[in-house]
Structure 1
């Protein structure tokens, strides 16, 4: 059972349409239109901030980092990071001609940047992975038979299992590879054979993939393996052509933006008949405040215990490595843990100075 309930409809000031949405917090999002406007807004549609040099071409041309900085493709094809105090830094200068960047996504798990680029001469596309400082570390372009995966990568995101998900209007498909670039599947529409004209994409708390379809004018919902689940009909709620999508983990809500105007509908997702998406507003504010504190402040932790629980191959071992300061290459294969493992990360603190540590 999978149900979406309309929670709120918002008219966003400062944009003519909602080409792309990027979440910051439960009540803050960046929204852009085809005119090159990029504004930070809230659930009342107010203009809180803006960027003036956004690229007009492309679709998924902005994203937000783990620290809340906005990253976007500018009018000169450079990829820019704009900090919360409005300082701009060129993370990836444009040096890939004739390959032009069309979409960008900042991974919340690794901090890596995924960039979808297109060569207009050859009518082909590819995905490049960079570190958060702009170092190129991976290219995804072909399947295991040598055939090109992409033609027109419009939007890009990442699933919780590390899959790279691309909405490709040239392939009329959602193209999914694993983190190492191996093609897993391409979703081309419902079992009825209605086809697909994919636009905005996002993933939810259950690793489902949501994609707007401008052909059926609905939002398709599929599982992480490409199996069709259901569709969200937004026409009945005033959005005739749903386009941009963004998901909020805290409220279990999906924001759906209109291509025709500056309307955004916020839907609460209900899974399995249990409404997991109606937390108290005070709880949401507390979580947002905690996230801000952890991003901006420093504190001393002398003793902590934790347990990592998840499905098989969910990434528990990889997460443990990252918690212990070990970066894993995207091409490194990690053996799955068998049974239960106990790890200790010991250190000595005297007068707030780290004197030594042992890893077991």
Structure 2
């Protein structure tokens, strides 16, 4: 075996075999000595990028123009590009020098790693510890209740045996429901912790990597981890014994108080350590612009209504037909799903796990499409579901009409279990108009925002269902009264509302203050809205049957 070609031999110039060559061509991926660089550069069949050997990972070829070197990074398209790309498909975009972007990413990775280790992971561990204490309290209280019921039951002898069994069963049911909720959150938090640990490991590897493709492709998840899970406040039931009256045994024996689990947002949602909280603020830009204009396959008799983001690259849509469609941003149809009953869905939403949820008004059901399987989550009686959204805690908020069309309400479900009903204000008056559609979205501050078409208003209540404010239109004059349709919220807790009749979008802040209009993007009958993880707005145009992706903030 030639010793120069053996695994133990040092690196050599790939043109003349000089040992330990100090240079490297990042385009041709060959080692070079100083004497051979000139000959190598004479080859004009491709572009060359000769760098010191220890900088060999800092060059990459352009995917579009394979003979060119990537010298810039397109922030809008999130990809490395060469100079030729600038004047072609990336014309008018914002760029950063690729080495500068590389260094910025390294700094961001270092900060994320420190935050995961020092702040985020310990906070999650603390929450898990609190859940363990709550579970112990739940068990202890249940034992006390059982003892009290047994003691009181001895005084009532055989006549109360059936009541005792019934109440014990109620305790078990309460335990089961509360424990299920606690276990669910505990499992979710532990899963998140596992992801944080894995992310920490991955970031440590990235910090030691000089592969520019891996480093520039890095996407921080710290914003996702920074938002802590909601608090669970478990209300423990109590037992109230009554004096024995054999003719009214069941009523006099006593009952368990009702229980509830109140979900509260953490008042200490974490910001990046040592950073100004305004660092993550995304201000509105002066001139919103269309980034993508996506044609869909909806026909003239199947106007487009709803849109919901599955990811930054894929969107679910629905219209007046029974088929719900998943598109990528190039307008390619990726998947089609037909409603279970064959009628058109009134609204669609995507869960935290990426499953599609839709409401079937005629069938009175809320359904989930999980992979290729379809299941009915909820079947209503006396009410018909209209619009739906998925919350940050993976609950469903459903707007529904009574059978006679005289009442509307919002109901929160955890799975198929009803947790909350929002219908009346503090004066006992209806919060929402009757009948007609009402698009709904949970805001980042956990407010519940409803675009009430008939009332011509956006009605916002807090997490407990208490009215915060009602928005009825912008200060500017309009030819047609404000009749809101689709609604969305972004990372800044701003609320975006489709003004269908006036062909524009209203943007208001979390307290109902009008901020601005999006009225320069040639919208035509905007209906459904959604916002992706990067705060890009997607608008479903009803009559054109198109989806517009709009950049409206930095």
Instruction: Please confirm whether the aligned pair reaches a TM-score higher than 0.5, indicating the same fold.
Output: yes
Equivalent position of 1:53 in the other structure: 339
Structure 2 vs 1, CA of residues 267 and 122 (structure 1 numbering), >3 Å: closer, same or farther?
closer
Q: Are positions 1:258 and 2:258 aligned together?
A: no
Equivalent position of 2:507 in the other structure: 221
Structure 1 moving runs of 4+ over 6 Å: none
In structure 1, the gaps of 5 or more residues are 276-360
Equivalent position of 1:349 in the other structure: none
Asked if the contact 2:319–2:344 (Cα under 8 Å) also holds between the matched residues in 1, the reply is no
After TM superposition, give the deviation of residue 124 of structure 1 in Å: 2.3
Q: SS state of the match for residue 528, structure 2?
A: strand
Of Structure 1 and Structure 2, the greater strand share is in 1
Find the aligned partners of 1:192 and 1:265 in 2 and give their Cα distance: 24
Q: CA RMSD in A?
A: 1.9
Find the aligned partners of 2:425 and 2:309 in 1 and give their Cα distance: 31
Asked if the contact 1:153–1:166 (Cα under 8 Å) also holds between the matched residues in 2, the reply is no
Find the aligned partners of 1:216 and 1:261 in 2 and give their Cα distance: 15
After TM superposition, give the deviation of residue 17 of structure 1 in Å: 3.0
Asked if the contact 2:298–2:304 (Cα under 8 Å) also holds between the matched residues in 1, the reply is no
After TM superposition, give the deviation of residue 246 of structure 1 in Å: 0.6
Q: Are positions 1:144 and 2:144 aligned together?
A: no
Q: SS state of the match for residue 25, structure 1?
A: coil
Find the aligned partners of 1:112 and 1:197 in 2 and give their Cα distance: 27
Q: Which has the larger radius of gyration?
A: 2
Find the aligned partners of 2:546 and 2:454 in 1 and give their Cα distance: 27
Find the aligned partners of 1:44 and 1:34 in 2 and give their Cα distance: 23
Asked if the contact 1:17–1:263 (Cα under 8 Å) also holds between the matched residues in 2, the reply is no
After TM superposition, give the deviation of residue 34 of structure 1 in Å: 1.6
In structure 2, the gaps of 5 or more residues are 1-282
Within 5 Å, give how 1:232-311 maps onto structure 2: 232-233=518-519, 236-237=521-522, 239-249=523-533, 251-270=534-553, 275=554
Asked if the contact 2:291–2:550 (Cα under 8 Å) also holds between the matched residues in 1, the reply is yes
Within 5 Å, give how 1:179-198 maps onto structure 2: 179-192=463-476, 194=478, 195-198=481-484
Q: Are positions 1:79 and 2:366 aligned together?
A: yes
Equivalent position of 1:93 in the other structure: 379
Asked if the contact 2:321–2:344 (Cα under 8 Å) also holds between the matched residues in 1, the reply is no
Asked if the contact 2:318–2:345 (Cα under 8 Å) also holds between the matched residues in 1, the reply is no
Equivalent position of 1:288 in the other structure: none
Structure 2 vs 1, CA of residues 255 and 215 (structure 1 numbering), >3 Å: closer, same or farther?
same
After TM superposition, give the deviation of residue 229 of structure 1 in Å: 0.7
Of Structure 1 and Structure 2, the greater helix share is in 2
Asked if the contact 2:525–2:543 (Cα under 8 Å) also holds between the matched residues in 1, the reply is yes
